[in-house]
Amino acid sequence: MQYENRIKEVDSLKKEIDKHRPLQPEVLAQLKEYYRIGLTYSSNALEGNSLTETETKVVLEDGITIGGKPVRDHSEALGHSEAYSKLYDCVKDKKITEEQVCEFHRLFYHRMDQEQAGIYRKENVIITGSEFIPPGADKIESLMKEFLNDLVALRQSSHPVEFAARLHLKFVSIHPFIDGNGRTARLLMNLSLMQDGYAITIIPPVVRADYIQAIKAAQVGAREEVSFINFISTMVFESMNDYRRLIKSLKQ
């Protein structure tokens, strides 16, 4: 499926949403919890987690395990929720640091593998179903330093939605961790969007195939980066529409 660039429409929505700001603390608190469930469910589901959105809500809000569902799926939900909370600690500082990157991964991953949580991978990996081969483990540290150093200039030269998309794409292409790179990338993407005043952006599982294909195409052909930016801009547009709807509902 082809996706159009929706950045102009996104910015139009942002201007409308900005008229409602600043939001009351109780409204912000409700929105935070709404997106905790939505982002945790969707980001995990994109990677094969079997918990439904309702089951994710039960696990996070009631602390109840779901019968018949793997322990790992519960651990991923709890870990992602912790990493999500960390987003809000990082929004005011309009920067993305190595410490933040590793902490997001550590919070998400420590229940699955405490020794590798927040630590760059020490072994080479391949990605099933893709022609793209991530960099060797011996290059990760230097590539991550280069990636993080380049973010300031990239942010200054890009629209915030383009920056968020490129940040996501560059991070997953380095693939610095043994596992959990996609979820960390989506957290970082949302951090950058929030820092620039945009809403949490959810990539619903129903477009998983389009999302993966857009990443794969961009990784093997530089010209296809535009297609990935267009895809992300559409996801931001849909999420901003949802955010506007929620604000209007909560303010009635």
Catalytic residue ranges: 175
Whether residue 228 contacts residue 217, with contact meaning beta carbons closer than 8 Å, is answered with yes
8 Å CB contact between 51 and 60:
no
Q: Cα torsion at 160, 165, 170, 171 (round to 10°)?
A: 90
Q: Which one, of 43, 42, 41, lies nearest residue 55 by Cα?
A: 41
- State how far the Cα of 94 lies from the Cα of 105, in Å rounded to an integer: 19
Nearest CA to 154 out of 163, 142, 164 is that of 163
Question: Which of these, 213, 136, 228, lies nearest to 175 by C-alpha position?
Answer: 136
Closest to 39 in 3D by CA, of 75, 64, 76: 76
